[in-house]
Amino acid sequence: MRISSALRAGLVAFVALTGAGVSSAALADSGSIRISVLKGGWVIGASGGSGTLTFKGRNYPLSIGGMSAGFVFGASQTHLSGRVSNIRSPGDVAGVYGAAGAGLAVGGGARAIVLRNEKGAVLELSGRQVGLMVNADLSGLAISLR
């Protein structure tokens, strides 16, 4: 049975592209992250905080900042921890993470969120929020290495 040269070339290209995609995904790694964010606002909100990325046995300090616009009222502090995936180096965590959401925290409550930045890093975070915060907003969170 003879395979035409066009079909053979297409099959070779498909195998090459598939292999390249698998190898780049295989190079991605994961780590753990802990952050503490203080958020406050009246219509427009601001947030700031710090955290630590643990990647390949080393700790990297983080700075957290952000803005939100929409309906925001109150102040809260949130402590989150979890996993960061799809990173090749600590610098891949740095970037802007966007979210749209609504929430209410009076006293204390649980939070869970999944965020992705422009480099493809994925944060899967959960933790506790303390304070009085009512929000229905668009918000952005910027993480940088210190």
- CATH code reported for the domain at 28-145: 2.40.128
Please check the confidence at residue 27 and state whether its pLDDT lies above 80: no
pLDDT at 89: 95
Residues 35-64 have pLDDT tens digits of 999 988 887 888 899 999 999 999 999 999
Burial of 105-117, coded b for 16+ CB within 10 Å and e otherwise, reads beeeeeeebebeb
Q: What pLDDT score was predicted for residue 112? A: 78
